[in-house]
Amino acid sequence: MKKIVKVLQAIFGLIIIGLLTWGGYKLLLAVALLFKSVDPTLGAGMLAASATVLVSVVSVLFSKKQEHKVDIENQLRVKKIPIYENIIEFIFLITFAEKLGKAQPTEQEMIAFFADTTRDLVIWGSKDIVKAFGDFKDKLGTLAVCGDTAGMLATVEDFLFAIRKDLGHKHTKIKRGDILRLYINDVDAYFPRLNKACQQDIA
């Protein structure tokens, strides 16, 4: 039964497309005959006026589309900023917990953080930031097991770069370590351990 319904829907769709195409053709033919039958001077004026109206309509539609796109981006930005702030706050908590006299997050708190962040990014995150967060989780776990501190720092910074990029910041003049050194004093000591690819500028 469902197959029959789908076939009928496809047939009706083709019929409607055919009718619209035929109607458009007849309309264009009628307009062409109209311009052909009038005085050339008057026809040129009508053509110019029609072109002006068409350009105006297209401009308005394009402007509305751009406004709608910007409006959606602004609404998404409002939702994303608190998520990114929570992520950075958690990263800083892990980094400065001892110096601030605070306890490191427990395993349950870590699990809750990643679960909540994953949920929020699935809803509000762009495809690039979702991928960046997935890479961040995978690499961080692997590098932690290996004890690769330099790799972990690079992974954290890559994710911070992704967050900034998603918010519209440019990174053409920012290099590896420029964000890390804002809160890690001896970050330069880890750079020799980074591979050549990691030492390249962040685009």
For 150-163, how does the pLDDT look when each residue is reduced to its tens digit (9 = 90+)?
A: 788 888 889 999 99
Residue 198 in 3-state DSSP? helix
Q: Is the pLDDT score of 8 beyond 90? A: no
C-alpha–C-alpha distance, residues 122 and 189, integer Å? 36
Q: Is the pLDDT score of 172 beyond 80? A: no
Condensed to tens digits (0 to 9), the pLDDT of residues 33-74 reads 665 665 566 556 666 666 677 777 777 777 777 777 777 778
pTM score, whole prediction: 0.59
CB contact at 8 A, 159 and 136: yes
Domain ranges of the chain: 2-64, 66-199
CB contact at 8 A, 121 and 129: yes
Burial degree of 30 (CB within 10 A; 0-12, 13-18, 19+): exposed
Q: What is the pLDDT of residue 129?
A: 92
C-alpha–C-alpha distance, residues 118 and 133, integer Å? 8
CA distances in angstroms from 95 to 88, 90, 100, 147, listed in the order given: 10, 9, 10, 16
Condensed to tens digits (0 to 9), the pLDDT of residues 77-93 reads 888 999 999 999 888 88
Residue 18 in 3-state DSSP? helix
Condensed to tens digits (0 to 9), the pLDDT of residues 17-36 reads 877 787 767 766 766 666 56
Closest CA relative to residue 153, chosen from 128, 113, 182:
182
Condensed to tens digits (0 to 9), the pLDDT of residues 101-139 reads 778 888 898 889 989 999 999 999 888 999 999 988 888
Residue partners of 83: CB distance under 8 A and separation at least 6: 117, 120, 121, 124, 125
Half-sphere exposure of 54 (CA within 13 A, CB side): 6
